[in-house]
Chain A
Amino acid sequence: MKKAINILVSLVMVAGLVSCNNGENKKGSKGQGGLATNAAEKVYVAPGEHDEYYAFFSGGYSGNLTVYGLPSGRMFKEIPVFSQFPTSGYGYSEETKPMFNTSFGFVPWDDSHHPDISQTGGKLDGRWIFINGNNTPRIARIDLETFETVEIIELPNSAGNHSSSFITENTEYVVAGTRFSVPVPQRDMPIKDYKGNFKGALSFISVDQETGRMGIKFQLMMPGFNYDLSHPGRDKSHGWFFFTTYNTEEANTLMEVNSSQNDKDFIAAVNWKVIEDYVNNGGGTKMPANYAHNVYDHDTHLATSTMEKEVLTVDPTKVPGAVFFLPTPKSPHGCDVDPTGEYIIGNGKLSADLTVHSFTKMLDAIENKKFDGEAYGIPILKFEDVLAGTVKQPGLGPLHTEFDGKGNAYTTFFISSEVVKWKLGTWEVLDRQPVFYSVGHGMIPGGNSREPFGKYFVAMNKITKDRYLPTGPELEHSAQLFDISGDKMELLLDFPTHGEPHYAAGIRADILKKNSKQFYKLADNKNPYATLSEADARVERKGNEVHIYMTTIRSHFTPDNIEGVKVGDKVFFHITNHEQDFDVPHGFAMIGANNAELLIMPGQTKTLVWEPKQVGVWPFYCTDFCSALHQEMQGYVRVSPANSNMELSWSLGED
């Protein structure tokens, strides 16, 4: 009897637990969960359907760029940019190694920060996306037809390439500013003599509108402050560029104290059109330099690196009307310009208020020469004369502001962990939402253009802690998606991001997806090591170099048996994928290779080097599950002793 009761009681308990589980869910969601609202519906992209937006998140210390869909938060791709990527062989294959060439030699890593999509007439055009390498100063261009990095240019006279890479309205320039000022030219000198002797270079990189090819048009050699972030003027302020500065104290040690002394630092306003004219008319000084310019070609499937030996520098004091300083409180971080081009927002990260400058007032102050002194010969405008307004005590630690195109601004607050929506012109706070936790940048797709798509806001949070299942001390960062189509922001979704996104750029999916390339045409393959006909597959010896010209198609390598390779040889596998269909790459992996695999897209040629060290018969195979016979896609290389007389031979099947 007792037993029966026990069974019944436990049944009731189990049933209670199983029943609907709502209580449990609600507890976990901390009151912002999707169950009480239709948030789940808003982010649900049904199987087989596509997201409305592509979002490109910088990878920070991953050096790369990751592609997500919005509103789903699904990750589609990691695009290798500044870091070697064994997944595809980027930076390991002979074709792509030159992408990492710099004046410091081969640098296979960087810290990627601020992506920006190319524009025409102030609107996103989806041709390219640019991103900066912070550590060894570089700017990369990624082709949005192929989602591949196609160009990397190094920046001389620069260090901590942080106020980069932002695009002018017609992609005339990609702009890159230096965060750490350095001696220019570099020389052996005491660190304590920093003040007055170091320079901060602001680089204006022109972009060829046909090819996208970058070239440094000029470098503006500014005083030795730290140039933190920047933004182009747009619409009415097109032709200007704005940079936040900190460490106007020019301290060189214990910076967290010594560079926070001044009540105000500056936003540097640069009239690049005036400087462009000056340069086009022979102005500026050419100085010797040494920097790498690396370009990847889609027809040869080959990167080439050229060392440039000269750069044009401009002294701002020599160009009247070109550069002015706008006093801005307390070490401003983000420097953001609203879609009309009128308001320049300085996010003073140690200030309680947000400072907004007026472009119209700035022009007026310049015209009437209302200067309040100068710094290193550069006129300082009077704070009160350029101020449009302040947003009073909106939060703690403002970092960055985005715009929805409907007259509202959204500022992230790192210290108080929130996003605050406020109104341009009246400066009133309209809404605030907590984020989890410590938000850095925010992003509205198209937010950097004249026409933002003001539907979603993504907060890129620095601290994840309890938002996901713990995965040891290291956690992926947490992004949060808000619906901003209504009066109040609504939290819809948490999703993890890879590396440390410092910024992102978003665009409507339909602008990109129609241009996306599906495969490379074999007929257009101009790689010098390509094997365009299977009949030409062969093996050649040049001294101790062995070149294997190999082809792949589902599911075999031609040739797949190779003999006559010797210990001490340097073997080049030049592999051409003969598939001509979407989504049929082949992989190539060789036992004991000291680099990585290759992932070869249809119609592409890639080369992997292998240096056999041991006598034997060694297999290679395809790593990408290509067909039902993928497991059969393999071959052998026979390696004979170094002093062997074995002649080269190769075959496939009985031939």
Chain B
Amino acid sequence: MKIIMKSLAAIAIVTLISCGGKEEKKSNDIQIGQKPAATEASTETTNASSDVKPSESVDLTNKGIGPIKNLELPAEIDQAMAAKGMEVYKTKCMACHKPDKKFIGPAPTGILERRTPEWIMNMILNPEEMTKNDPLAKALLIEFNGSPMANQNLTEEEARQVLEYFRTL
């Protein structure tokens, strides 16, 4: 009797294991109650402890991520270029950005006192990557309720015109 039982048990164990090599490994990975490994994300949240809202913070060194690496603005505002920029702004940006008050997104008035020209243009031209990887753009996305900055597919020329328009505000 005992022998039968023992051999049955052996068969059972062997058969159960037989195809489950991978299965077992998987189950090792899933363990409820384990502490998650420390992630990099948690270190970034320290910014939130400061009282200044991301939209009001000043950062004149960050150039953002995107096609614009270096941009020197001439002293004089090019009014013709700014006028073109205003037209682009009206059709493609104003649905979310009113010139002088917070709406869906922040207002552009005075933005050049807070951001570099490169950062502004990269935010217009490359919003997906900016809101994913640029710490400031990420913080802004959270401040504005997770409302995404839409990529309106402006050309670089159009984005530059919009930037010139911002200088007149």
Partner of A554, one of B11, B90, B150, B153: B150
Q: A532-B91, A553-B150 are in contact. Are A5 and B104 (CB under 8 A)?
A: no
In the bound complex, do residue B146 and residue A629 qualify as a contact, i.e. CB atoms below 8 Å apart? yes
Instruction: Please tell me if A15 contacts chain B, counting CB pairs below 8 Å.
Output: yes
Interface string of B51-95 (1 = CB under 8 A from A): 000000000000000000000000000000000000000111011
Within 126-169 of A, Cβ neighbours of B (below 8 Å) are at none
Contacts of A554 in B (CB 8 A): 96, 147-148, 150
Whole-angstrom distance from the CB of B16 to the nearest CB of chain A?
5
Contacting residues, chain A, for B18 (C-beta < 8 A): 15, 19-20
A522 & B92 in contact (Cβ 8 Å cutoff) = yes
Taking a contact as CB atoms under 8 Å apart, the answer to whether B92 and A12 are in contact is no
Contact indicator A19/B19 (Cβ below 8 Å) = yes
Interface size class of B (residues with CB under 8 A): 20 to 34
Q: Is B1 located at the chain interface by the 8 A CB criterion?
A: yes
Judging by beta carbons under 8 Å apart, are A8 and B94 in contact? Answer: no
A402 to chain B, nearest CB (A): 42
Chain A, residue nearest B11 (CB): A12
Instruction: Write out the residue numbers on chain A whose beta carbons fall within 8 Å of the beta carbon of B150.
Output: 553-554, 579-581, 584
Closest residue of B by beta carbon distance from A553: B95
The closest CB in chain B to the CB of A521 belongs to B153
Whether A555 touches B152, Cβ cut-off 8 Å, given contacts A12-B8, A522-B92, is no
* Closest B residue, CB atoms, query A8: B8
Contact A581 B8 (CB under 8 A): no
| Contact indicator per residue, chain B 119-159, by CB within 8 Å of chain A (1) or not (0) | 00000000000000000000000000111101111000000
A189 within 8 Å of B (CB atoms): no
Q: Is the CB of A11 within 8 A of B12?
A: yes
A628 at the interface (CB under 8 A from B): yes
Q: Report if A533-B148 is in contact (Cβ < 8 Å); known contacts: A8-B9, A19-B15, A556-B104.
A: no
B151-A534 in contact (CB<8A)? no
Chain A residue contacts of B19, Cβ below 8 A:
18-20
Whether B147 and A653, one on each chain, are in contact in the complex, defined by CB atoms closer than 8 angstroms, is: no
Question: Which residues of A from 514 to 538 have beta carbons under 8 Å from B?
Answer: 519, 522-523, 532-535
**Please, which residues of chain A bring their CB within 8 A of the CB of B147?**
554-555, 627-629
Write out the residue numbers on chain B whose beta carbons fall within 8 Å of the beta carbon of A579: 150, 152
**Does A4 lie at the interface of the complex (its beta carbon under 8 Å from any beta carbon of B)?**
yes
Contact across chains for A580 and B8 when beta carbons are under 8 A apart? no
Interface string of B11-44 (1 = CB under 8 A from A): 1100110110000000000000000000000000
A28 within 8 A of B: no
Contacts of A556 in B (CB 8 A): 95, 104
In the complex, the answer to whether B151 meets A580 with C-beta atoms within 8 Å is yes
A628 near B146: Cβ-Cβ < 8 Å: yes
Q: Does B5 contact A (CB under 8 A)?
A: yes
Contact status B96-A553, CB under 8 Å: yes
A655, chain B: closest CB distance, angstroms: 9
Decide: A653 and B103 in contact? CB cutoff 8 A: yes
Beta-carbon contact of B152 and A15 below 8 Å: no
Is A287 an interface residue, CB under 8 A from the partner? no
Cβ A522 vs Cβ B91 within 8 A: yes
> How does the 8 Å CB contact mask read for A611-655 relative to B, with 1 for contact and 0 for none?
000000000000000011100000000000000000000000100
A469 at the interface (CB under 8 A from B): no
Q: Contact between B12 and A8 (Cβ–Cβ < 8 Å)? A: yes
| Given contacts A15-B15, A629-B145, A629-B146, A5 and B8 within 8 Å (CB-CB) | yes
Smallest CB separation, B79 vs chain A (Å): 21
Q: Which residue of B lies closest to A534 (CB)?
A: B95
A9 adjacent to chain B (CB < 8 Å):
yes
Q: Is the CB of B95 within 8 A of A12?
A: no
With A535-B90, A551-B95, A629-B146 already in contact, the answer to whether A12 and B153 are too (CB < 8 A) is no
B148 x A627 contact (CB < 8 A)? yes
Is A411 an interface position by the 8 A CB rule?
no
Nearest residue in A to B17 (C-beta to C-beta)?
A15
Q: Most A CB atoms within 10 A — which of B92, B145, B146, B151?
A: B92
Residues of B within 8 A of A46 (CB): none
- The smallest C-beta distance from B112 to any residue of chain A, in angstroms, reads 24
Render B94-114 as a binary contact track against A, CB cut-off 8 A, 1 for contact: 111000000110000000000
**Separation of A5 and B104 alpha carbons in the complex (Å):** 70
CB neighbours of B91 from chain A (8 A): 522-523, 532-533, 578
B29 to chain A, nearest CB (A): 20
Chain B contacts for A653, CB-based, 8 A: 103
Task: Report whether A558 and B12 are in contact in the complex, using a CB–CB cutoff of 8 Å.
Answer: no
Q: Which residues of A contact B11 (CB under 8 A)?
A: 12, 15
Chain A residues within an 8 Å CB radius of B96: 553-554
Q: A532-B91, A534-B94, A580-B152 are in contact. Are A1 and B1 (CB under 8 A)?
A: yes
Decide: A9 and B153 in contact? CB cutoff 8 A. no
Q: Which residues of A contact B9 (CB under 8 A)?
A: 8, 11
Q: Is the pair B8, A578 in contact by a Cβ cutoff of 8 Å?
A: no
Task: Given A20-B19, A629-B145, decide whether A581 and B94 contact each other with a Cβ distance below 8 A.
Answer: no
Would you give 21 A-B contacts (Cβ < 8 Å), ordered by A?
Answer: A1-B1, A8-B12, A15-B16, A19-B18, A20-B19, A533-B90, A534-B90, A535-B94, A553-B95, A553-B150, A554-B148, A554-B150, A579-B150, A580-B92, A580-B152, A581-B150, A581-B152, A584-B150, A627-B148, A628-B147, A629-B146
Give B residues with C-beta under 8 Å from A.
Answer: 1, 4-5, 8-9, 11-12, 15-16, 18-19, 90-92, 94-96, 103-104, 145-148, 150-153
| 8 further interface pairs, Cβ-Cβ under 8 Å (given A8-B8, A629-B146) | A4-B5, A15-B18, A534-B94, A553-B150, A580-B151, A580-B152, A580-B153, A628-B147
The 7 A-B pairs of least Cβ separation, nearest first, read A15-B15, A628-B146, A11-B12, A553-B95, A8-B8, A580-B152, A534-B95
